[in-house]
Structure 1
Amino acid sequence: MTVLLVADGVSWSRALLEHLFVGPMLPASILGAIVLALVLISLLGAFSPDFGFGGPDVDAGVDLDPGVDLDPSVEVDAGASLDTSVEGHGHHVSGDMLGGLTAATMRAVHLDRVPLMVWLTMFALFYWVLSYVLWFEFDVHHYQPTLWTCALLTIRNAVIAVVLTRFTTAPLHRLLIPPTHHHPATLVGGTAVVETSVVDDTFGRARYATNAAPLLIDIRTTGSPITKGSRVRIIRFDAAQNVYHVESA
């Protein structure tokens, strides 16, 4: 009897593992395990005594774009300053486009306001359930678990999970952070930090700090070139060129 119970337990465990790590279930189960571990660590850090580790801050609620209602003159920094310029001129266009695309993508899926850990947990849940149901109810009858097939099915499941997560987090997205209004008039007189390698009369960008995510703005100066990391004062806004004129602070 004991031998039979052990054998049944081994076969049951093996069947469970085969279900969890077959075909497109493999990446879904790995992601689910990672997210579950992060949630448990986060709960441990929040509710258990401090054993010298300081409580890991796993909830990376990165407000990449906290609903900032901006004029076209103000760009929202998506959290990654992609300075691809070479000595202030030339190859900064691709970096600007990539940064704008990243910010737009974050806003589209609600990662601009919803905390990363909350969003990732919901995505992992949808992704795992979708992968399990679609694979065992439909895909397994039509596809072989080859590498290429599993890759395509994984992409399909991930896209559907992103859409479901986006709509599920819509109420939370509206409630979390109220929009902050910034206009050229409110920025003039403030200070910012130069982000590009140099600022002159033809090129330059700076990071303007706010009480939420910082803003990345285009700046110019008619004085001596200002180097990266310098603090500048915004003196006026040029609506025709859509840039801010600054002086060294």
Structure 2
Amino acid sequence: MVLIVGAGLFALSGSNDDNAAVPTTAPLSSTTVAQSLTESGLPAPKPKAALVSCTYAAGTGPADKPVTKPERIEVPTTGAAAAVNMSMRTSAGSIGLALKQAESPCTVNSFTSLVQQRYFDGTSCHRITTGAGLKVLQCGDPTGTGMGGPGYQFANEYPTDHFPVGDPSAQLPVDYKRGVLAMANAGPDTNGSQFFLVFGDSQLPPQYTIFGTVDAEGLATLDKIAASGSDETNGPGDGKPKVPVEIESIQLGS
């Protein structure tokens, strides 16, 4: 079925009526997650130009928290500048992030800009799904409703950009593996600030930009959040986290 909640859209294989379950998979390192991506039906990442030009267009509404579009629009994909690590401190624990600027440079550039402007600080993770087909925690909306954003939007990157336009296989579900960090959207090329963290292998069409991975400590934090479940306002296994999760800060560096 297709489940749409405000600006966050997820298409999943199966039904959200599946019994909620906390994944029992052992935590994976970021390296292991990266190696497993191509085993999930996703295409292998293709090398990009050493410098990528990014476009950030006006969104459908104003920013829901004071913020500006990224000042940098020429983004490197190689060398030390492309290695971006972050530490996300939440009310439930720390979550380390390794961002993939070589594969999704414009997404990482936007996320980094939002972090530097403290856009995410003091915001809540507004949705968790724990069904058999989708195990994600969704964050990045200052309004906490699933409708908020930064007032600008930008195009999908990996893996969407690896499929030819009109390719029917781009609508078939693949595995977004445990440990993946990806963007939520409301349709093609509508990325803004909402993102999701995958705590259990999930089935989605490759229409959600993957731009990083979660470290082992972060996966343990996500498992703890998932164990508390959702308030099921969107149906069984889908709603706001039963125990509220607030992003206290996100900082550059591991």
Same fold (TM over 0.5): no
| Higher-strand-fraction structure | 2
Q: TM-score, normalised by structure 1?
A: 0.23
Q: Which has the larger radius of gyration?
A: 1
Q: TM-score, normalised by structure 2?
A: 0.22
